[in-house]
Each structure stands twice: as structure tokens, then as C-alpha cells.
Amino acid sequence: IEKDRLRLALIGCGYFARYHAAAWRVIPQVELVAVCDRAPERAQAFAEQFDVPRYYTNPEALFRAERLDIVDIVTTPESHRELVELAARYGVHVICQKPMALSEADCVAMVESCERAGVSFMVHENFRWQRIFRRARTLTEAIGEPFFLRLWFRSHYDVFARQPYLATAERFIILDLGVHLLDLARFLMRDEFSTLYCITQRVHPQIRGEDVATILLRSRRGAAASIELSYASFAPRELFPQTLALIEGPLGTVLVEADGLLRLITSSGHTEERLAPPSLPWQEPPGEWIQEAVLAIQQHFVDCLRRGLMPETHGRDNLRTMQLVFAAYRSADTTSSIALDQSE
């Protein structure tokens, strides 16, 4: 697209959308022209806060009234399919928050609708856009083809305070958080997974879904990966929402530690670097690294649109991550390992 500024609307003016809107406002190639939320007071307050000229309460009315290039969907996942398909019908390029949808059939339908309509579709999967993981991936070039990956996110943070819908969801930690780490695993290993085994637990007495999950994977090239997710774990220091990583290859090890610390250990020695913390005017603790990643992925989508490229986590790519999510639930439900069809 070769316009000066792309016309953008955002749907879903809840908790996380504020970081999207703040980031959109500093991306010069984009103009946020309208927002939409089915709760009128929320749509209006959000439009005022971010200086957006118009707001809507009905997504179809938004598409009918506005000439849009991009829509950014930041609603909770049960509405993602309907809204992505609406964007496709109106020929508008679309970004949709993770998780893409609640079933594999919905995800496939969304990808196909966008492909048929010829619109670009990216899932807003931002953990791989955290600066520390971009750098970690570069460091893996020094260790040869990884044979082992461990990713872990073990926390006791009260995530339900800001995201109460997570306490009542039938499926919780794999769908909401596991999706990020499964995508990171694909990103860091530069490979797809062929076999998966998962154990889930519910430790917190007052929630509906699982709050602990342990996933073991084998990659197509034979590497092993272990992914640990927990909102029931006390630790010496609460690190929410940081993900830690260990990547081992025949020539060395890469470690992602807390607060931006990276280590590379090879036969020629041990180097460490600490990334400077993010510094965005709108950032709020404790999610600064992720809020910075929101800006990075939105800029990436715009750059790809302008250059006619597929964004990294385009719909069909993210379908592979979602297949791992659904396979993890199947494995836990049946206490069996799942063979995945992740062929090219």
C-alpha cells in the first residue's frame, strides 16, 4: 500500500487495548480514525483518552461507515472469528490479538476467509517481539542446531485482577499464556514440532480452568523442548510477566535470565550482556518488555503491508502455534502423546 497514512480502527477498548492505542499513536504511517466497543461508555472514554475522532458500539456499523485500511482486534477470543471474518468481508487488512480463536475449526476458517478475500491477516503474538528474544535468537547462531530448549513462566501473580475472564475460562493457562511460549519455541528452535505430551493441573481453588501445565515436545529434526507454565508458583522474587529460557546446542548454550540478562556459553568462554530496560512514555510496570513488544509488532505489520510482505505471525503461520495449543489439551485430556502433522 502506498498511501501516506493508513486508516486504522481498533475494536475492543478494554484493559490491553490501551497499549495498542498508545503504540499506534507513535507509528507515523498510521492514523487511528475510529474505535469500537460494545460497551458505549468504554468506547467513548477510550476515544477521548486517545484523541480518536469517532467511536462505534457496533462493529458492522464501523465497517459500513469508515473507509479503513487496517483493523486491530483487541477483544477477548470468543469474538475473534466473527470480527476477523467481518474485516475480510469488507476487504480490510486485519490484526487480531492472541489466542487466534477457541477451536481449531474457527482458526482454519479465519485464515481461509482472509486468504479468499486477499487481505493480510496477522495474529498479534508479541512475545517473540520482546527485545530479549530477538537477541536470544541471534545468539543461537553461535551454538549450532539446538538439541534442547527449556522455556518457563512460573509465577504467583494475581493475573485475575486485571483479566477476570481468565478465572472463569474453561481453558486457561495453555490458551492464554502457553500460546506465547509455544510460539516462542517455534521461533527460537527455527523448527516445527512433531510430537507433544502435556500434563495440566488446577492448583488455585477458585478458578475454572488449568493454572499449571507442563508440555514436552519433540521437534521434526529430533530436538527436545520443555515448556512450563504456572500461576501457582511461589518464587524468591515474583518475575511476572517474564519468560526465562535455556537453549542448548552442540557448540554452546544461550540463557535468557531475568531483567534483560543474556548469557552465551561456548568452548571459548562465557559472555553476558544486559539489555537496557524499555523506556516508552506510556509504559507501566510490571509489563514493560511486553508493552515495548506491542509497538514492535504493530510497526512490523505496517512495514510488511507497505512492502507487500507476509508478517511473521501471519494467520497460516499462527495456525501451527494454535495446533500445538489444541494438541496440548487433547494430550492432557487423554493422557497420551499426540503426533502432529506439521509438514510443510
Query: What does 223 interact with, of ligand NAD, ligand 89V, none (CB < 5 to 8 A by kind)?
Result: none
12 binds, among ligand NAD, ligand 89V, none (CB under 5 to 8 A by kind): ligand NAD
Residue 177 interacts, among ligand 89V, ligand NAD, none and using kind-specific CB cut-offs from 5 to 8 Å, with ligand 89V
Q: Does 151 interact with ligand 89V (rule: CB under 6 A)? A: no
Which one of ligand 89V, ligand NAD, none interacts with residue 159, CB within 5 to 8 A by kind? ligand 89V
Rank residues 75 and 299 by Cβ distance to ligand NAD and give the closer one.
75
Contact between 282 and ligand NAD by CB under 6 A: the answer reads no
311 lines the binding site for ligand NAD (CB under 6 A)? no
> In the complex, what is the shortest distance from the CB of residue 153 to ligand NAD, in angstroms, rounded to a whole number?
12
Answer with the entry of ligand 89V, ligand NAD, none that 97 interacts with (C-beta below 5 to 8 A by kind).
ligand NAD
Q: Which stretch binds ligand NAD (CB under 6 A): 47-55, 72-80, 185-193, 300-308?
A: 72-80
From 71, 177, 182, 189, residue interacting with ligand 89V (rule: CB under 6 A): 177
- Which parts of 4-43 interact with ligand NAD (CB under 6 A)? 11-17, 36-39, 42
Q: Which three cell numbers stand for residue 108?
A: 482454519
Binding site for ligand NAD (CB under 6 A): 11-17, 36-39, 42, 59, 74-77, 79, 97-98, 124, 126, 163, 165, 176, 290
Binding site for ligand 89V (CB under 6 A): 159, 163, 176-177, 241, 290
